[in-house]
Amino acid sequence: MAGHAPAKREQAPDFSDYRGVWVHIHQRDGVAAPVGWQLMGRAREMADVLGCETGAVVVGHGVRHLAEQAIQYGADVVYLVDAPVLARYRTQPWALAVSQVVQQYKPEIMLFGSTNDGRDLAGAVATILQTGLTADGTELSVDPETRILNASRPDFGGKLMSTILCKQHRPQMATCRPGVFPAPPPDPTRHGRIVEVPFELDEAEVHTKVLDFLPEEKTVDLSTAKVIVAGGRGMGGPEGFAMLREVADALGAALGASRVAVNAGWIGYEHQVGQTGQTVRPKLYIACGISGQIQHQVGMQDADIIVAINRDPNAPIFKLATYGIVGDIFEIGPAIARRARELRARFAQEQAAREPAAASAAGSST
């Protein structure tokens, strides 16, 4: 029709020279962030679907041991960029190093952990490479026909899941939150290749200098906790959290919280579980006075066992819970702490009674 340009059909460019699913292994002082290994496991599964290799990118100085570790966690090939200028994380040199390896060896998918540094790095790398980046993915899958990465994440305040595709550029990039995927067990018998990639950047060309590094004392590590006792608005204030801390201590658990409790200043942000907090996967999660809104659920729904304590029988958390207790946390919490302490004391006594018996048995046999 006159005056109308014909509709353009979206034609995917030829990306056949891009192959492999890669993970950036973020490290500090030669210790890898666990999310790198967690993503390596998912990368391995997706590479098997696509019939390609997995790659790991290790950047730093004196970090060859991490390249070897990456192979144990599932990397077929590790690109190692080791140079003094890369000793500490700084956006500019690390982004140049990762971008250089990607431009040279062309992976089709590149994943980063959503740590503070990982988010910063991924954004800078995507900008240099002029490709797309899905931030904070919570589900990853690949289409074996199109080789497209489906990176899904909660959106619109957690009310919807969006699946984001990057059809026109390579690599397809995503950051993923720690704790979303389980790390595979390391296999020391696995074999892989380590490719040392030379990197040249004069320290004088780097805009930022690290004068000193003052680590913040970490008071809580929810990502590795086996048991978490978490409180929400129903705790009523800091005193409620003091009671909950006793429950947590009695159970040997870490203390978690909903965003409402954190925003109210009852407990620090490092305890927040959920979409804008941490993703956790403990064996046992006890949600106390938490209604279970979707933004909280996305952070704890992968716990093996969920116990919900809430005085509202219609609270949404009960739909997710393995066990639900309808009642007042200020009655139930102290009762749990008391019982846990009794059981611990009994266990300690029984063990003490067993030990002298075992010691005298050992003594009489010599």
Of 156 and 213, nearer to ligand FAD (C-beta) is 156
Smallest gap from Cβ 299 to ligand FAD, in A, equals 6
- Range 142-171, binding ligand FAD (CB under 6 A): 157-158
The residues that bridge with 231 in the sheet, in sequence order, are: 257, 288
State in angstroms the smallest separation of the CB of 296 from ligand FAD: 3
Helix and strand numbers (H, E) in the chain are 9, 17
By beta-carbon proximity to ligand FAD, the closer residue of 43 and 287 is: 287
The nearer residue to ligand FAD, 50 or 325, going by C-beta atoms, is 325
Q: How many residues at the interface with ligand FAD, by CB under 6 A?
A: 29
Q: Are residues 49 and 142 in contact, defined by beta-carbon separation less than 8 angstroms?
A: yes
Could you give the string, one character per residue 185-224, with x where binding to ligand FAD holds by CB under 6 A and - elsewhere? ----------------------------------------
Give alpha helix (H) positions in 265-328: 294-300, 317-320
CB atoms within 10 A of CB 156: 8
Residue 267 identity (one-letter amino acid):
I
User: At closest approach, how far in Å is the CB of 281 from ligand FAD?
Assistant: 15
CA angle 334-338-341, nearest 5°?
A: 135
Residue 94, burial from CB neighbour count under 10 angstroms (0-12, 13-18, 19+): buried
Residue 269: CB minimum distance to ligand FAD, A: 10
Least distance in angstroms from the C-beta of 74 to ligand FAD: 30
Q: Which of 206, 320, 330, 341 binds ligand FAD (CB under 6 A)?
A: 330
* Subset of residues 231 to 290 that bind ligand FAD, contact rule: CB under 6 A: 232-234, 258-261, 272, 274-277, 289-290
Tally of CA atoms within 13 A in the half-sphere of 7 that contains its CB = 2
- 44/74 Cα distance (integer angstroms): 6
Site pattern 299..328 for ligand FAD (x: CB under 6 A): x---------xxxx--x------------x
Q: Kind of pairing, strands 160-164 and 149-155?
A: antiparallel
Q: What count of Cα atoms within 13 Å lies in the side-chain half-sphere of residue 112?
A: 29
* Least distance (Å) between residue 236 CB and ligand FAD: 7
Q: How far apart are CA 142 and CA 165, in angstroms?
A: 10
Q: Which residues bind ligand FAD (CB under 6 A)?
A: 157-158, 232-234, 258-261, 272, 274-277, 289-291, 293, 295-296, 299, 309-312, 315, 328-330
